[in-house]
């Protein structure tokens, strides 16, 4: 397709339509009732709405084909629609939420899961997914932490790039390839008070040093689209933020893909107080570098007037339209507007055994064993198992943003254990609900009776899937009083109890950790959650997940993260309530978290031998090699994530106490050893210096290797240049 020739033949209205994205409801055949309200609110006529270049929020190949036919029938040049959808952690077969996937520290698994979900989405008519979400998250109060892979820029960048590769393939030419859209640019994960959509205030140094690298990694991986965030950064909404969209994204990073706004974000600039009206909002967004406007029509309605007034240029419009047409062309939509959409392939692929197996493996790898006092794994020969708690037979465990996923497809913990232990007596009682703030335990006596008689107790607690995600911030992160009452009673009557915790964010588990012998954090695990939990609890699988986000001791510590800055008055005993002294402390809780970044136990043990450095001095021409030997000293095979951190001891600006620079995941048999060799380069030491350049400075560095951000072997080297 000669898209430049096509562009030259298009009317202004057609061009503006290509830059407007509307909900799929606008294209429905039976829209006589539904469309009247939405269209009138947008201020455009029905025929104008049908000129839109892309759509979202549809379900299934049949739906997609019908909408595409309607759009093509009204399109003067028969330009096909782009179909976009939030395929965040699976399409119909759901794997764990991205924050759980971060705990796998496994790029290959992430890429495989993205490829699987992209395939299911493609046969259902999806061309673009609004994923991955690369917002760095350090405040568990924010509901959308569940969409991120965690608090560390290095980990997020590597896993984000893996998502992009999984969705897009090599060059979008594969039948099941879909385009990825990185979101939300930028720093959406740092809203004031952890409240969704709230303002973000940080220095440009912090923005560049910590929050931008993840997005940049995905740009370098070839992501096709990027979405500005809802929030303001430095007082300017990201949708019209020229620093972000023009200077950094377009000029510095040379990104020439599509920039698409978030839902109705153009009009939200009016509420932010930076745009006078819809026309002004369109002007600001276009001049900042936005291409597609999602679910508002300010560009369509006002671009002609803005052009006449010289406030925007036709060159800007044409450049944006060319980007849209180019993506449609590379996806092959002009030749085949349906692309991979197929009702038959939907039936064959959605929830197929291979996809369920992958979802189960992902849920196993994402789960983190927080605590274990010898209780787990349970013996598979047990005769009586009690499965107690609000999540014992709850199917709402797929997580927020599960697209076409359905609760009824999800395997419960009860079902998973019964399937694994067909000869055991597996009884259950809910005890209480998962409602926030609930105080009563209606089934307490029955729960006590079941736990007293059981050989093993599985206590299923946590946070419901709709209590996380967009718009679901929380000020209180503890389990409800009812869940704690249930836990106390059950544990009192049976010490052979393990708590299985569901959640979309790090919860404050301090009180529970003091009384329960074992805790397995399974996040919101998806379609195969119950089978994965059963395999982990009864030793079919050895837990290997490592926390990608710090678990606070108390909400008042939030935001809390491992790579914090030094303070001039550090606390000497961060894990205790420090008594006295003018130091950076709390009066009532420790400074240290309950569980640190990288924490995660196993059913086996690992020993780390002394660090060996290739040299005491590193130069730009001679990268440094860091070697360590890891041995499985236990009796079970297992997987261990070896983590490499550095500390810049003296620099022109304050540096973090630790920075993750690399990691490697090993699979070791009992007694087996493996040598891990990491390589540090000059770029690994570089940062945004006091004069604004990105460079490594001479001086002494410390290097650390270990199983988490607290238990580390240490060595020192100098960097010279």
Instruction: Report the C-alpha gap between 185 and 161 in whole angstroms.
Output: 15
| Block residue for tokens 């990104």 | 255
Let me know if 662 is a catalytic residue. Answer: no
Query: What percent of the chain stands above pLDDT 90?
Result: 95
Instruction: Report the C-alpha gap between 533 and 190 in whole angstroms.
Output: 32
Residue 33 has pLDDT above 60, yes or no: no
**DSSP annotation of 411:** P
Q: Map residue 387 onto helix, strand or coil.
A: strand
Task: Give the CA diameter of the chain.
Answer: 81
Lowest-confidence pick of 84-88, 98-102, 579-583, 636-640: 579-583
pLDDT digit string (tens) for 229-262?
A: 999 999 999 999 999 999 999 999 999 999 999 9
| Block residue for tokens 């104008």 | 48
| Block residue for tokens 């982990």 | 536
pLDDT of residue 43: 84
Q: Map residue 372 onto helix, strand or coil.
A: strand
pLDDT of residue 184: 98
| Strand 236-237 to 612-613 pairing | unpaired
| Block residue for tokens 């064959």 | 348
Q: Map residue 149 onto helix, strand or coil.
A: coil
pLDDT of residue 580: 75
Q: Which CA distances in Å does 260 have to 44, 469, 612, 647?
A: 20, 21, 48, 38
Instruction: Report the C-alpha gap between 381 and 375 in whole angstroms.
Output: 14
Phi, psi of 346 (to 5 degrees): -55, -50
Contact 279, 273 (CB under 8 A): no
- Residue 3 or 42, more confident: 3
pLDDT of residue 581: 81
pLDDT of residue 592: 97
Q: Which of 86, 262, 278, 648 is catalytic?
A: 262
Banded pLDDT at 30 (limits 50, 70, 90): low
- Please say whether the dihedral angle defined by the alpha carbons of residues 73, 74, 80 and 85, taken in this order, is positive or negative: negative
pLDDT digit string (tens) for 588-629?
A: 999 999 999 999 999 999 999 989 999 999 999 999 999 999
Q: Is the pTM of this model over 0.75?
A: yes
Instruction: Report the C-alpha gap between 383 and 315 in whole angstroms.
Output: 74
Residues 366, 369, 373: CA angle, nearest 5 degrees: 170
Q: Where are the domains of the chain?
A: 360-537, 606-719
338 is written with which tokens? 């349906």
**DSSP annotation of 614:** S
188 is written with which tokens? 């959406």
Banded pLDDT at 28 (limits 50, 70, 90): confident
Instruction: Report the C-alpha gap between 587 and 287 in whole angstroms.
Output: 50
| Block residue for tokens 């055991």 | 424
pLDDT digit string (tens) for 140-184?
A: 999 999 999 999 999 999 999 999 999 999 999 999 999 999 999
According to DSSP, the residues that pair with 134 across neighbouring strands are none
Banded pLDDT at 39 (limits 50, 70, 90): low
Instruction: Report the C-alpha gap between 628 and 205 in whole angstroms.
Output: 34
Q: Check whether the bond before 377 is cis (ω within 30° of 0).
A: yes
Instruction: Report the C-alpha gap between 507 and 476 in whole angstroms.
Output: 9
Banded pLDDT at 36 (limits 50, 70, 90): very low
Residue 187 has pLDDT above 70, yes or no: yes
**DSSP annotation of 611:** P
According to DSSP, the residues that pair with 111 across neighbouring strands are none
CA-based nearest residue to 18, from 333, 325, 334: 325
49 is written with which tokens? 């709405």
Banded pLDDT at 403 (limits 50, 70, 90): confident
Distance of CA 624 to the CA centre of its chain: 32
Buried b (16+ CB within 10 A) or exposed e, 247-271: ebbbeeeebebbbbbbbebbbbbee
pLDDT of residue 34: 46
Banded pLDDT at 32 (limits 50, 70, 90): very low
Contact 565, 657 (CB under 8 A): yes
According to the CATH classification, is domain 360-537 in 3.40.50.10860?
A: no
Domains 360-537 and 606-719 share a fold: no
- The H-or-E segment that residue 102 falls in is helix 98-102
pLDDT digit string (tens) for 332-357?
A: 999 999 999 999 999 999 999 999 99
pLDDT of residue 294: 97
Residue 582 has pLDDT above 70, yes or no: yes
pLDDT digit string (tens) for 503-516?
A: 999 999 999 999 99
**Which residues does 651 contact at the CB level (< 8 Å), separation at least 6?**
687, 689, 697, 699
According to DSSP, the residues that pair with 659 across neighbouring strands are 646
628 is written with which tokens? 């360590």
The second-level CATH assignment, the architecture, of 606-719 is Sandwich (2.60)
For the chain, the average pLDDT equals: 96
Query: What percent of the chain stands above pLDDT 70?
Result: 98
According to DSSP, the residues that pair with 226 across neighbouring strands are 182, 259
Phi, psi of 560 (to 5 degrees): -135, 135
- The H-or-E segment that residue 682 falls in is helix 682-685
Instruction: Report the C-alpha gap between 296 and 273 in whole angstroms.
Output: 18
């Amino acid at each position: 397709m000669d898209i430049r020739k096509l562009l030259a033949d298009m009317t202004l209205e057609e061009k503006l339509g290509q830059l407007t994205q509307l909900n799929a409801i606008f294209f429905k055949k039976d829209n006589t009732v539904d469309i009247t309200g939405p269209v009138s609110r947008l201020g455009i006529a029905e025929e104008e709405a049908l000129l839109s270049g892309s759509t979202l929020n549809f379900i299934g190949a049949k739906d997609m084909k019908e909408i595409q036919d309607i759009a093509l029938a009204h399109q003067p040049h028969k330009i096909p629609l782009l179909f976009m959808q939030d395929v965040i952690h699976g399409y119909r077969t759901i794997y764990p939420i991205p924050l759980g996937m971060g705990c796998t520290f496994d790029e290959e698994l992430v890429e495989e899961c993205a490829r699987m979900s992209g395939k299911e989405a493609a046969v259902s008519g999806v061309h673009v997914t609004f994923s991955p979400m690369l917002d760095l998250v350090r405040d568990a109060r924010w509901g959308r932490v569940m969409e991120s892979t965690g608090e560390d820029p290095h980990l997020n960048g590597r896993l984000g790039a893996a998502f992009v590769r999984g969705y897009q393939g090599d060059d979008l030419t594969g039948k099941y390839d879909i385009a990825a859209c990185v979101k939300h640019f930028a720093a959406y994960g740092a809203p004031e008070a952890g409240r969704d959509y709230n303002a973000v205030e940080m220095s440009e140094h912090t923005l560049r040093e910590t929050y931008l690298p993840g997005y940049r990694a995905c740009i370098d991986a070839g992501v096709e689209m990027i979405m500005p965030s809802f929030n303001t950064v430095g007082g300017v909404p990201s949708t019209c933020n020229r620093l972000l969209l023009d200077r950094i994204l377009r000029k510095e990073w040379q990104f020439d893909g599509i920039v698409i706004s978030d839902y109705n974000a153009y009009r939200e600039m009016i509420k932010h107080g930076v745009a006078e009206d819809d026309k002004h909002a369109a002007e600001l967004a276009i001049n900042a570098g936005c291409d597609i406007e999602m679910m508002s029509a300010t560009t369509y309605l006002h671009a002609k007037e803005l052009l006449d007034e010289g406030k925007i240029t036709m060159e800007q419009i044409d450049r944006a339209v060319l980007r849209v047409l180019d993506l449609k062309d590379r996806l092959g939509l002009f030749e085949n507007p349906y692309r991979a959409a197929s009702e038959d392939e939907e039936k064959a692929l959605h929830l197929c055994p291979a996809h369920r197996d992958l979802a189960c493996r992902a849920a196993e790898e994402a789960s983190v064993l927080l605590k274990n006092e010898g209780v787990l794994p349970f013996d598979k020969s047990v005769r009586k198992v009690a499965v107690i708690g609000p999540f014992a037979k709850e199917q709402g465990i797929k997580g927020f943003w599960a697209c076409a996923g359905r609760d009824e497809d999800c395997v419960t913990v009860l079902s998973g254990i019964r399937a694994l232990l067909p000869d055991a007596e597996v009884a259950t009682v809910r005890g209480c609900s998962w409602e926030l703030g609930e105080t009563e335990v209606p089934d307490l006596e029955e729960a006590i009776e079941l736990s007293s008689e059981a050989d093993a107790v599985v206590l299923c607690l946590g946070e419901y899937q709709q209590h996380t995600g967009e718009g679901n911030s929380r000020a209180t992160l503890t389990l409800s009083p009812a869940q704690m009452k249930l836990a106390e009673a059950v544990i009192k009557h049976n010490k052979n109890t393990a708590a299985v915790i569901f959640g979309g964010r790090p919860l404050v588990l301090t009180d529970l950790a003091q009384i329960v012998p074992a805790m397995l954090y399974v996040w919101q695990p998806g379609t195969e959650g119950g089978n994965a939990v059963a395999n982990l609890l009864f030793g079919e699988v050895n837990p290997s997940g490592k926390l990608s986000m710090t678990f606070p001791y108390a909400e008042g510590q939030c935001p809390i993260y491992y790579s914090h800055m030094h303070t001039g008055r550090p606390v000497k005993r961060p894990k205790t309530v420090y008594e006295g002294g003018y130091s950076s402390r709390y009066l009532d809780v420790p400074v240290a978290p309950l569980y640190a970044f990288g924490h995660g136990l196993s059913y086996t043990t690992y020993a780390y031998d002394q660090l060996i450095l290739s040299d005491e001095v590193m130069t730009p021409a001679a990268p440094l090699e860091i070697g360590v030997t890891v041995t499985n000293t236990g009796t079970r095979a297992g997987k261990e994530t070896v983590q490499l951190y550095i500390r810049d001891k003296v620099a022109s600006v304050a540096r973090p106490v630790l920075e993750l620079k690399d990691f490697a995941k090993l699979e070791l048999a009992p007694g087996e050893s493996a040598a891990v060799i990491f390589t540090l380069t000059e770029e690994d030491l570089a940062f945004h210096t006091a004069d604004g350049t990105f460079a490594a400075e001479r001086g002494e560095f410390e290097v650390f290797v270990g199983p988490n951000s607290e238990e580390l072997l240490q060595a020192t080297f100098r960097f010279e240049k």
